[in-house]
């Protein structure tokens, strides 16, 4: 599995938003998923077949649009000798742009995880769910449920729970059946329990050691047995070290796996936002330091600091929806840059060139998501970027109180 960086995830998320926004007037938007195992020549003949089938579409414009979308994919396919490692996805079609107008759009995406099945779909919306699901797959966690009767091993991939192993013991219950002396019975029970835990420890360790990229292990079960099992170190030390936390569950079978995940989910999402919270807290602490403060906010100030290479950590709100736009005068080549929100951009009329004597309107020659633009600037000077979601109070304050952009500098700056 390719681990996406925060930035790559963000970029893909934004691209998917754009793709999802496209609406066809009719079923004329094509989504094509090509797994890496598929021969390009097979895809080509599949599409050629679709091409002849589509000749039967009754509406003239829909037919024309579908045909040109398929042609467009066919010509793009020529650039591939074989599909990339994780396969490739095409979203091509004529999206509606108000009144009776349409505009051809084409997106080619190499997904972060392998595509499992070949899929061709022609609809009034692009089919993005499989890629969206890939983005929600965050990390892999081991799941272990144990008591004296049962042991269940599972794995959590994103929000998918898989059962890997279910075992039951022969350890007798706490109370004897009579006949044997109670002490002897207890001793035998403890021996049986010890053997059961040993067996579980070996099996569980073997399974988890074989799982690459395991971020941590969650342990569940009713009562104190799980803690005893962990404390007595029945698990391999490497596995032992990966235990994140223990949770009470009512069941120790497959059903208990779900129970464990829901009990742990709060802790897990907290783990995820813990990092961004931590950085935000550091920023807020810096603010209160006055003269020696390393905190900086305001886009203009931060741009100056970036030029000086003085930014250590840049904090950007994931919900920033702003663009850096480059304007150029077609007559004298005068150039300037502006930051615009999505709304401002949609109604933006480029101003006249301040350098030319005869009034000339400038033109937009480039438009880039400000998150991409600023991230590149920071990374080129050795700083780091933290994208902050709004799922914590701190993250929310970055967006609402600091306009979504803040920085921790390498040394105190004065502007
Ligand atoms: Zn000019």
> What's the pLDDT at 273?
62
**Ligand 1 center from residue 361 Cα (angstroms):** 8
**Ligand 1 center from residue 354 Cα (angstroms):** 7
**Ligand 1 center from residue 298 Cα (angstroms):** 29
By C-alpha distance, which of 143, 170, 139, 140 is closest to 253?
Answer: 143
**Ligand 1 center from residue 355 Cα (angstroms):** 5
**Ligand 1 center from residue 359 Cα (angstroms):** 8
pTM above 0.85, yes or no: no
Q: Is 220 in contact with 247 (CB distance < 8 Å)?
A: yes
CA distance 282 to 295: 9
In angstroms, the Cα distances linking 188 to 110, 227, 385, 401 are 59, 21, 59, 66
**Ligand 1 center from residue 340 Cα (angstroms):** 21
Ordered DSSP codes for 278-315:
HHHHHHHHHHTTGGG--EEESHHHHHHHHHTT-EEEEE
**Ligand 1 center from residue 316 Cα (angstroms):** 34
Q: What is the pLDDT of residues 155-212, one digit of tens each?
A: 987 667 889 999 999 887 766 555 667 888 888 889 999 999 999 999 999 999 998 7
> What's the pLDDT at 1?
41
Q: What is the pLDDT of residues 36-75, one digit of tens each?
A: 999 999 999 999 999 999 999 899 999 999 999 999 999 9
Token pair for 404: 């979504």
Ranges of the chain whose pLDDT falls below 50: 1-2
**Ligand 1 center from residue 329 Cα (angstroms):** 5
**Ligand 1 center from residue 322 Cα (angstroms):** 26
The H or E element containing residue 146 is: strand 140-146
**Ligand 1 center from residue 370 Cα (angstroms):** 25
> What's the pLDDT at 116?
83
> What's the pLDDT at 133?
77
> What's the pLDDT at 2?
47
> What's the pLDDT at 270?
63
> What's the pLDDT at 276?
77
**Ligand 1 center from residue 334 Cα (angstroms):** 5
CA angle (328, 329, 334) in 5-degree steps = 75
**Ligand 1 center from residue 274 Cα (angstroms):** 50
**Ligand 1 center from residue 348 Cα (angstroms):** 18
Determine the longest span between alpha carbons in the chain, in angstroms.
111
**Ligand 1 center from residue 362 Cα (angstroms):** 7
**Ligand 1 center from residue 369 Cα (angstroms):** 26
SS3 state at 230: helix
């Amino acid at each position: 599995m390719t681990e996406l960086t925060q930035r790559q995830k963000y970029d893909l998320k934004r691209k998917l938003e754009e793709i999802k926004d496209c609406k066809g007037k009719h079923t004329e938007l094509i989504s094509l998923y090509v797994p890496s195992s598929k021969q390009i020549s097979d895809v080509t003949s599949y599409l050629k077949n679709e091409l002849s089938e589509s000749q039967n579409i009754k509406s003239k414009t829909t037919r024309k649009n579908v045909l040109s979308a398929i042609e467009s994919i066919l010509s793009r396919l020529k650039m591939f000798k074989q599909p990339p490692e994780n396969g490739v996805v095409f979203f091509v079609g004529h999206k509606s742009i108000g009144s009776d107008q349409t505009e051809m759009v084409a997106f080619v995406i190499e997904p972060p995880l392998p595509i499992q099945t070949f899929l061709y779909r022609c609809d009034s919306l692009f089919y993005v769910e499989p890629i969206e699901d890939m983005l929600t797959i965050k990390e892999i966690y081991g799941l272990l449920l144990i008591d004296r009767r049962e042991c269940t091993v599972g794995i959590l991939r994103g929000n998918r729970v898989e059962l890997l192993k279910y075992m039951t013991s022969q350890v007798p219950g706490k109370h004897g059946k009579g006949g044997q002396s109670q002490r002897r019975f207890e001793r035998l029970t403890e021996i049986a329990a010890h053997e059961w835990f040993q067996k579980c420890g070996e099996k569980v360790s073997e399974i988890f050691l074989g799982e690459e990229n395991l971020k941590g292990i969650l342990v569940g079960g009713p009562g104190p047995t799980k803690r005893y099992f962990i404390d007595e170190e029945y698990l391999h030390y490497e596995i032992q070290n990966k235990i994140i936390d223990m949770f009470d569950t009512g069941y120790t079978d497959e059903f208990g796996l779900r129970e464990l995940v829901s009990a742990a989910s709060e802790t897990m999402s907290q783990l995820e936002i813990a990092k961004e919270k931590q950085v935000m807290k550091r920023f807020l602490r810096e603010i209160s330091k006055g003269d020696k403060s390393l905190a900086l906010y305001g886009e203009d100030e931060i741009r100056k600091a970036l030029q000086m290479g003085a930014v250590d950590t840049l904090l950007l709100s994931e919900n920033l929806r702003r663009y850096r736009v480059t304007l150029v005068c077609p007559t004298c080549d005068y150039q300037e840059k502006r930051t615009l929100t999505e709304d401002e951009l949609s109604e933006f009329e480029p101003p006249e060139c301040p350098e030319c004597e005869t009034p000339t309107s400038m033109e937009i020659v480039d438009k880039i998501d400000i998150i991409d633009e600023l991230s590149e600037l920071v990374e080129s000077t050795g700083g780091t970027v933290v994208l902050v979601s709004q799922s914590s109070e701190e993250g929310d304050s970055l967006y609402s109180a600091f306009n979504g952009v803040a920085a921790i500098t390498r040394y105190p700056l004065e502007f």
